[in-house]
Amino acid sequence: MKLYDTPRAPNPRRVRWVMAEKGIDDVEIVTVNLMAGEHRTPEYMAKTGMAQAPVLELDDGTCFSESVGICRYLEAKYPEPNLFGRTPEETAVIEMWTRRAEMMLATPYMLGVRHGHPALAALEKQEPVVGEWNLGSANRALKVFDRRLAESPWIGADRITIADIVAFISYDFARGMLKYEVPPEMTNVVRWIGDMRARPAAAVAK
């Protein structure tokens, strides 16, 4: 298998984090330079029909993108440690929190970076007000996650799951690109961030 990856982008990092948690080491990493437009070449676009990363290419040439979909595939191929749920009920709760992390944190943080980091002006026309509004939206959403983390050490279950990976990488992307920090009064989120940073996967999936 080959994973078409771009190092600083958050979505490919989700896949690398899942691979690190599961100890998957038989996937070839192919670096794609987004700033150079390598994701827009006809050869790359033919893999999934969209100019995006990550893309997972199987040995038979089958390709698919969308980071959570790739992670689900890896979960099926390498089921332990479990990151998506063991029972129907647990799976539903993890899916619920993963969707919340995607919509309430990942998308706003991504738009905040895309419209707020000067280097990304090379990729699209930036609207600073869009970036500022989305960062504010993510800040407001953190209250929901802080309440959740007051009752559970992890977001989706009693252990790390894909919900934690999606949420943390989203925050860490904004922190790295915009020097964004979680408001200190979000004490449960701050504790959880420390727990995520302490995991061995955090050092591998930088």
Closest CA to 8 of 54, 69, 64: 54
* pLDDT higher than 70, residue 173: yes
Q: In angstroms, rounded to a whole number, what is the distance separating the alpha carbons of residues 64 and 205?
A: 21
Q: In angstroms, rounded to a whole number, what is the distance separating the alpha carbons of residues 195 and 70?
A: 25
Q: How much is the average pLDDT of 22-26?
A: 96
Tens-digit pLDDT profile for residues 187-202: 999 999 999 999 999 9
The pLDDT of residue 48: 86
Q: How much is the average pLDDT of 67-80?
A: 97
All structural domains of the chain: 2-77 (3.40.30.10), 88-199 (1.20.1050.10)
Q: Which residues of 134-165 are buried (b: 16+ CB within 10 A; e: fewer)?
A: bbebbbebbeebbebbeeeebbbbeebbbbbb
CB 52 within 8 A of CB 39: yes
Q: In angstroms, rounded to a whole number, what is the distance separating the alpha carbons of residues 141 and 183?
A: 12
The pLDDT of residue 3: 97
CA distances from 147 to 58, 104, 159, 186 (A): 40, 14, 17, 9
Q: In angstroms, rounded to a whole number, what is the distance separating the alpha carbons of residues 46 and 25?
A: 26
Q: How much is the average pLDDT of 152-157?
A: 98
Is 28 strand, coil or helix? strand
By CB neighbour count within 10 A (0-12 exposed, 13-18 middle, 19+ buried), where does 195 fall? middle
Tens-digit pLDDT profile for residues 83-125: 999 999 999 999 999 999 999 999 999 888 777 777 666 667 7
Angle, helices 162-178 vs 128-151, to 10°: value is 140
